[in-house]
Structure 1
Amino acid sequence: MVTVSAFKDGFTALRANPILLVAGLLIGAGSQLQYVDHLIESPLLSAGVSLTWLIVFPFVLGGFLGIAQDAIDGTDASLTRFFAAARTHYHRLLLATVVFVLLVFGTAIGLGFIGFILGVGSMALAAVNEMAAFAAGVVSLLIWLVSILVVIMFVQFYDTAIVIEDESVADSFWRSVGLVRSNLKSVAGFSLVWLLLMNAFFLPEYLLWVTMAEPGPADVLPIDLGIPIAVLLPIGIAISAVGFAYFYTVYTAYYLRLIAVSPAVPE
């Protein structure tokens, strides 16, 4: 029920506050920088642009979460509020984002090492039973993937904890873990629905990537779309702007409903 209400809250807030689309446009434009190497011939410049976006993204995200909260609460969501929230929370969000990435990659590498050891065992098993070895490999891969997703699920609310509850970097992760532990069924359901719907919405953007990727689209799709990159990029930006604005407003709405039934842990 909380999940359904959050999606409704997101739609209502977005419809009443078009400023969210403006903020979403910043995120949408930044998300398309992954394709900049198709427009420029310098790999170094392309890498520099992508790195710049990674540094800027926490600023934009902090501002967006700030005005999304205002829009959901029914107060005035404005660009002034956007930049105020972005400046206030930027440094903590930047550091927390680095910690989040290291945590996820560290988990992936650590579990990958364990999987490598199990893979060696599977190779030995293959000498006895190839089907059993294949099944063991598939199970190991699934465990690796699910474990990473579980880690992401437990720490995913670090950004909203910083912006909405003004938590420190360390406390934001503990707050996220505590909320998920207390509402595991609800969070798992929301995360699954949110992820599936967002990926479905961004399917056209995925087709954009396929169209621009090497090898050419004719090798991947049954037909060559024949759309120039200069046209595809604005389409991708528009799709990303609407998608990020809506789904991150829903994400904020869900967090607000979550903390309403899960008060902060007393210090």
Structure 2
Amino acid sequence: MVLVSAFKDGYTALRANPILLVAGLFVGGGSQLQYVEHLIDPPLVSAGASLAWLVFFPFVLGGFLGTARAAVEGTDASVSHFVTAARTHYLRLLLGTVLFVVLVFGTAIGVGLVGFVLGIGSMALAAIHEMAAFTAGVVSLLLWLVAILAVILFVQFYDAAIVIEDQSVTDAFRRSVGLVRSNLKSVVGFSLAWLVLLNAFLIPEYLLQLTLTDAAPADVLPIDLGLPIAVLLPIGIVLSAVGFAYFYTVYTAYYLRLIAISPITTESV
């Protein structure tokens, strides 16, 4: 089974190539920059740090995916390979990331506008039948969420297509859509398992978010762990590093197995 094999490949590659943990540490530390505003007084410094991370992330991602591929295939997974892969694919990954965000937010706004129009109709329907109006509102909300998740599902492999198959930005998105369409059941299962397990590693980060907002962890959890930021922050960095390193290696291994059974054909070029 492709899904189970990918998780095994990821574990084997990570255990044999600890350099992937270093790359994961970059991401784990970088993801915590969104909380720097709570630790540094000047807001411009905080905003600058977050913006710098958004620009730098595609560089780290490209280097990681290239190195993870080498690790899974048993070739040269070295620092020099990481830097080469990062530099080679940076611009396309940056443009691809911008396009990915535009697609997701564009879908959210477009479907949201449709939902807004339907919401006006639901208000008129409420005067006739309240339950029918409530049902229509719930259905429109679910359709909005499904539309966003569907877009993410179908274009999620754009970064792997750029790095692993050296695709252009537009071709990478087409390749991702084609792979998902050809392997829909497998991709849905992988995406659900991958997302749930990755988020398990991000629990300290979520607790940190609660700590830095008006809502206390005890408002969400049945117990108050009472962990200060000074404790949650390093724990969050370490677990994010391990989580990113392992699950993005699994992501790479899964993509490699996916393209092995769905090679590029003349018709798809």
Distance 2:52 2:214 in 1: 25
Name the Cα RMSD after superposition. 1.4
2:239 aligned residue = 239
Distance 1:252 1:219 in 2: 38
Percent identical among aligned pairs is 76
Cα offsets for 1:172-195 (capped at 9, x unmatched): 111111111111111111111111
Distance 1:4 1:93 in 2: 28
Distance 1:139 1:123 in 2: 14
Query: How far 1:217 moved relative to its partner?
Result: 4.1
Query: How far 1:216 moved relative to its partner?
Result: 4.2
2:190 aligned residue = 190
Deviates more, 1:211-220 or 1:85-94: 211-220
Distance 1:253 1:214 in 2: 41
Cα offsets for 1:32-91 (capped at 9, x unmatched): 111111101222221221111110000000000011001100112111111110000000
Please give the residue correspondences for 1:3-152 in structure 2 after superposition, counting only pairs within 5 Å.
Answer: 3-152=3-152
Gaps of 5+ in 1: none
Distance 2:218 2:200 in 1: 23
For normalisation by structure 2, the TM-score amounts to: 0.95
1:207 aligned residue = 207
Question: Is the CA contact 1:211–1:225 (under 8 Å) kept in the aligned structure 2?
Answer: no
Change in 2 beyond 3 A, CA 1:120/1:234? same
Distance 1:88 1:241 in 2: 23
Cα offsets for 1:84-115 (capped at 9, x unmatched): 10000000100110011001100110000000
Secondary structure, counterpart of 1:50 in structure 2? helix
Question: Is the CA contact 1:27–1:240 (under 8 Å) kept in the aligned structure 2?
Answer: yes
Secondary structure, counterpart of 1:57 in structure 2? helix
Question: Is the CA contact 2:119–2:137 (under 8 Å) kept in the aligned structure 1?
Answer: yes
Cα offsets for 1:147-199 (capped at 9, x unmatched): 11111111111100000000011111111111111111111111111112212
Aligned residues: 267
Deviates more, 1:33-42 or 1:213-222: 213-222
Q: Which amino acid aligns with 1:81?
A: H
Secondary structure, counterpart of 1:35 in structure 2? helix
Distance 2:241 2:235 in 1: 10
Question: Is the CA contact 2:111–2:144 (under 8 Å) kept in the aligned structure 1?
Answer: yes
Secondary structure, counterpart of 2:116 in structure 1? helix
Question: Is the CA contact 1:6–1:254 (under 8 Å) kept in the aligned structure 2?
Answer: yes
Deviates more, 1:195-204 or 1:148-157: 195-204
Secondary structure, counterpart of 1:149 in structure 2? helix
Does 2:178 align with 1:166? no
Distance 2:236 2:186 in 1: 32
